[in-house]
Amino acid sequence: MCDWCMEHGDGKKWYLNIKNYTKDFFGPLKEKGKPPAISHLEELYFQLAEVVMSWVNEKNPETAANLRKLAEERYQLYGLHQVVTLEEVNAILDIASPIAKYACPCERILRARPEEKRCFGFGMSLDFVREWPDFFRGGVEFLSQEEAKECMEKFDEQGFIHAVYIYKKPIVGGFCNCESPSCYAIKISRERGWNFYKRSHFVANIEDSKCTGCKKCISRCQFGAISYSPTLNRAVIDPWKCFGCGVCRVTCENNAIKLIPRENFPSLKDVWWYSLPEQK
C-alpha cells in the first residue's frame, strides 16, 4: 500500500478490508482436507486490480499513473505477451520440450469454459502441473512437437492470435492463442491503453495487384486494422492498428497479404503498443 493511500481519507480502513478479504480467500489452503484455492487465483487478481486502480485513480490520479507505470514495467519483465507469427511459433516449438496444452485462464474466467485447451506451456512452466494440479482445471494434455504444430496451425485457421508469454526474460513459458474480447491482455490494452499486449516484429501489407476485394480478410482482424475501399475495390490495411499476427493471410485465396518486418518502416519500427484514440 502506498504512503499516500495510508495517510489520506479512508485509505487505511480500505487497506485492512482488502487484507482481511485476501486472508479469508486463502484460508482454505491451510486447512486439511480442503481443496486448494489456487484455481481461483486469477479471478481474485483481476478483481483486486480493478478495485485498487479505480479507487486510487479517484483519490489521486497522479498516484494511479505511477502505479500503472510500475505495473507495466513489472508485467513486461515477468509476464509479457507478444504477438508472434505462425512461422515463429513453429521455430520455437522446434526447440521446446516438454509441451502441453491446457485451459485458457481468460476463457475460464470470462466464459466459464475450462474444457477449451488453447494455452500451451513448455519447459519449466510445466512444473506447475506437479505442484498445483488443481490450477489446470480440465487437465493437461502433453503433445509431441509435431502434434503441437498441427494444433497451432488449426488455431491459426480459426483466427486465433498467437502470443508468447514470458515468465521472466528471456524465459518463454509458452503460447497463448488469443481472441478479443476474451483475452485479458488484449482487453486491458484496448480498453485502458495499458502496455500489456505487444505487437509482433511484422506489419501486414496487401499487394494491390493480387487483391480482388473479396473482403474475407476484414472479419479476421481483431484490431480493426483492415477495411474495404469501394473506390479501389480492394482491402486496405492501417499499419498503425496492425499487430502483425498474420491470421488475415489464411483467408486470402490469392496470397495477397504478406508480413513485412516492422524495422522496414521508419515510422513504425518503435510502435509496439496499442494506443487509445486520445493517446495518438
C-alpha cell at 92: 520455437
Q: Over 60: is that where the pLDDT of 212 sits?
A: yes
Residue type, 107: E
Structure confidence at residue 32 (pLDDT): 46
What angle in degrees, to the nearest 10, is found between the helix axes of 41-59 and 61-78? 150
**Percentage above 70 pLDDT, the chain:** 67
| β pairing state of 117-122 and 171-178 | antiparallel
Q: CA-to-CA distance for 122 and 102, rounded, in angstroms?
A: 11
Contact between 216 and 252 under an 8 Å Cβ cutoff? The reply is yes
Structure confidence at residue 144 (pLDDT): 94
Contact between 98 and 128 under an 8 Å Cβ cutoff? The reply is no
Q: Which region among 65-69, 177-181, 209-213 has the lowest average model confidence (pLDDT)?
A: 65-69
Structure confidence at residue 9 (pLDDT): 46
- Average the pLDDT over 79-94 and give the result: 90
Can you say whether residue 9 is alpha, beta or left, with left for phi > 0 and alpha for psi between -120 and 50 degrees?
Answer: left
Q: Over 70: is that where the pLDDT of 277 sits?
A: no
148-175 pLDDT per residue, tens:
999 999 999 999 999 998 766 667 788 8
Domains and CATH numbers, the chain: 3-77 (no CATH), 81-198 (no CATH), 202-279 (3.30.70.20)
Q: What is the CA radius of gyration of the chain?
A: 21
